[in-house]
Chains A and B, each alone.
Chain A
Amino acid sequence: MSLQVSDLKVYYRTLAGDVKALDGATFSIADKEIMGLAGESGCGKSTLGNSLIRLDGRMRYVGGSVNLDGNELPVWDNQGMNEFRFRDVSVIPQYAMSAMNPTRKIGTMTAELLESRGEKYREIKPELLRRIDLVGLDRDVLGRYPIELSGGMKQRMVMVISTLLDPSLLIADEITSALDVSTQRAVAETLVSFRDHGFVKSMIVITHDVSILYQTADTILIMYAGKLAEKAPTKTIIEGAMHPYTKMLISSLPEVGVRYANKKLSGIPGSPPSLLRPPVGCRFRARCPLAFDKCVEEPPFVKVARDHMAACWKVTGSDA
């Protein structure tokens, strides 16, 4: 087991009270696994991703633990996490286009970053150049400023920098959202190749775009309103999802080869609940066509089949 997260809770502090953006997440990721993390906006997927590497000022660690390769990550301790960042856990941020200091040459910035972490830039540089070749950039990008690169080039450069120290876990946060479709595919393929080359051991790919996960991810974890809904291998999620939310989410995607002129794509009526005062029991209850009495109790996230976890009373049976 590469990564094990148990009952992780991270809330946002607001004047109105705590927003329970991540309310008890328990899951694990195996070595070599690329896990897709999907859900609609505000479901807590980015909060989960961020909480594994850096909580920003408004986030508050409430409880739970994170274990990476047998080491407990001090996710609540910003200073304590520094040792693990970059070397063990790394991130390709949502804002990859603006992640590099605009007034420093990319090579200089990389060198300063590495040296500040006690690494020798000179020793790492050959590998850095090799990886720049691998993602299809010119070697002279190191002598350029970020503004001289296109969006896609910046994205690839950040991917190379983030994975330079061969982290055990890489978090890719909405990295395809700002790209056009053809570049999305290239980025997705690069992620997979990073895993295949052994640059990263396992990966969490956060996105609201399930189709990108279909090309990339081994498993998919679906979140809804701060809770985990379902986790299963990609194929199972696409073809044999059990949680009603996952089913409706997948069925709202267009399929290749199907004409939608006559048939309207189905969406999910309603909107997610406020996480300031979330409803008791299953949080999908109000929008769920299958909801019944038992749903006022909170469904546990449990194993329902081999490699398949879900949190739904209809799936596990009300006596579970």
Chain B
Amino acid sequence: MRRYFGRKLLTYTLTLFIAATIDWLIPRFMPGDPVYGLMSRMGNNSSPEAAKALSDYYYNLFGLNQPIWQQYLNFWGGLLHGDLGRSVFEHGQPVTDAIMAAVPYTLALLIPAILLSWWAGNSFGALAARRKWLDNTMLPVGYILTATPYMWLGIVLAFVFGFTLKMFPFANSYGLNLEPSFTWLFFTDLVAHWMLPFLSLFLVMFGGWAIGMRNMIIYELDADYSRYLEALGAPQRLVRKYAFRNAMLPQITGLALQLGVIVAGSLVTEIVFSYQGVGLLLFNAIKSEDYFLLQGIFLFVIVGVLAANFLVDIAYVIVDPRTRVGMRGGTA
């Protein structure tokens, strides 16, 4: 058991190191100069000397005037102290602050969408596998939903429920006339703004989970152990219970992968609804070639994926005895 987790931990550390290095490299391969971009966005109508002084100040602030190897070492040095650098796009605000301001919105949007769609999709798929009429109606709907791009569904929802029916607002995470505060008014406003992006994510993922579960259940119900139980007259309740439990295994992996990409996962949805989450932040960071913000967000994604995978490794050990056998090096 200890050896198993030791080996896993080593793999994850190595992956983290390589991924972080690539993460550092990629923004620097982008054509263009972030400081130049920043200066031009600020409106550069001062004298050339003043502009030179300002750009020197920025190069110095972001450490971009140092040799590239030094920048790489700085990156790791800062990382180990929990310092991700300063955002070019957010005018020198620390990257951690910029990310932390966006993270609650993304999490509040994605965690309920992923977990609820997972739960509802699996329950519904399992139900569909045993009811013919439900299967016949659910399957096409599920396929259409899962094949729908998030943003397209988002636009349709925004048009129907936001623009036409005026049931929900369809831009920003809260009304721009409000200040974030712990008041009932702000909370209801937040929920109203949250509704449409949530729905667009929920519906698409729901379709995917439901179809996956339905297919898995049908497969498991046809498995040898199911047939054996039926041949020995076991009631359907027991057969279905076993089939459901075993069909859940791949779904758990799927859930983990979803949770891993949680941070960047809703990129397009957040753009469609101008929802101030990490996805929108990432979009802006790319637009303004913000090395540090990009790095920070990607690092966030990397750590998220790795952590989620590690959790699944642990969950698998609990739910699937076959992994436990592999861990002891037992022979099948």
Point out residues on A near B: beta carbons under 8 Å.
53-54, 56, 81-87, 90-91, 93, 95, 98-105, 112-113, 116-117, 145, 147-148, 158, 161-162
B246 beta carbon closer than 8 Å to chain A:
yes
Closest residue of chain B to A173 (Cβ to Cβ) is B231
**Option from B225, B230, B235, B325 in Cβ contact (under 8 Å) with A148:** B325
Closest residue of chain B to A83 (Cβ to Cβ) is B233
Q: List 20 A-B contacts (CB under 8 A).
A: A54-B227, A81-B233, A85-B232, A85-B233, A86-B233, A87-B233, A90-B232, A93-B231, A98-B225, A101-B225, A101-B242, A102-B225, A102-B246, A113-B229, A116-B234, A116-B235, A116-B238, A117-B233, A145-B321, A162-B232
**Residues A147 and B325 in contact, CB atoms below 8 Å apart:** yes
**Option from B246, B249, B330 in Cβ contact (under 8 Å) with A101:** B246
B124-147 interface bits toward A, Cβ cutoff 8 Å, 1 = contact, 0 = none: 000000000000000000000000
Q: Given A113-B232, A116-B237, is A147 in contact with B332 using a C-beta cutoff of 8 Å?
A: yes
A-B contact count (CB 8 A): 79
Residues of A within 8 A of B229 (CB): 101, 113
**Of residues 235 to 256 in B, which have CB atoms within 8 Å of A's CB atoms?**
235, 237-238, 242, 245-246, 249
Residues of B within 8 A of A84 (CB): 233
Residues of A within 8 A of B330 (CB): 148
Residues of B within 8 A of A99 (CB): 224-225, 227-228
Closest residue of chain A to B245 (Cβ to Cβ) is A103
B319 beta carbon closer than 8 Å to chain A:
yes
Q: Give the complex CA separation of A186 and B319 in angstroms.
A: 35
Closest residue of chain B to A99 (Cβ to Cβ) is B228
Residues of B within 8 A of A145 (CB): 321-322, 325
Q: Give the complex CA separation of A215 and B230 in angstroms.
A: 30
Residues of A within 8 A of B97 (CB): none
Nearest Cβ in chain A — how far from B91, in angstroms?
55
B320 beta carbon closer than 8 Å to chain A:
yes
Closest residue of chain A to B238 (Cβ to Cβ) is A116
Residues of A within 8 A of B233 (CB): 81-87, 117
Query: Counting chain B CB atoms within 10 Å of each CB, which of A87, A113, A116, A158 scores highest?
Result: A116
**Residues A147 and B231 in contact, CB atoms below 8 Å apart:** no
Nearest Cβ in chain A — how far from B233, in angstroms?
3
**Residues B231 and A100 in contact, CB atoms below 8 Å apart:** no
Closest residue of chain B to A91 (Cβ to Cβ) is B231
Nearest Cβ in chain B — how far from A312, in angstroms?
34
Closest residue of chain A to B248 (Cβ to Cβ) is A103
Q: Given A82-B235, A103-B246, A147-B322, is A54 in contact with B230 using a C-beta cutoff of 8 Å?
A: yes
Query: Counting chain B CB atoms within 10 Å of each CB, which of A53, A84, A85, A101 scores highest?
Result: A101
Closest residue of chain B to A113 (Cβ to Cβ) is B234
**Option from A91, A100, A112 in Cβ contact (under 8 Å) with B238:** A112
Residues of B within 8 A of A100 (CB): 225, 228
Query: Counting chain A CB atoms within 10 Å of each CB, which of B321, B325, B330 scores highest?
Result: B321
Residues of A within 8 A of B332 (CB): 147-148
Nearest Cβ in chain A — how far from B278, in angstroms?
37
B315-332 interface bits toward A, Cβ cutoff 8 Å, 1 = contact, 0 = none: 000011110010000101
Q: Give the complex CA separation of A99 and B230 in angstroms.
A: 11
Other A-B contacts than A101-B225, A148-B330, 8 sampled, CB-CB below 8 A, are: A82-B235, A85-B231, A85-B232, A91-B231, A93-B228, A102-B246, A147-B322, A162-B232
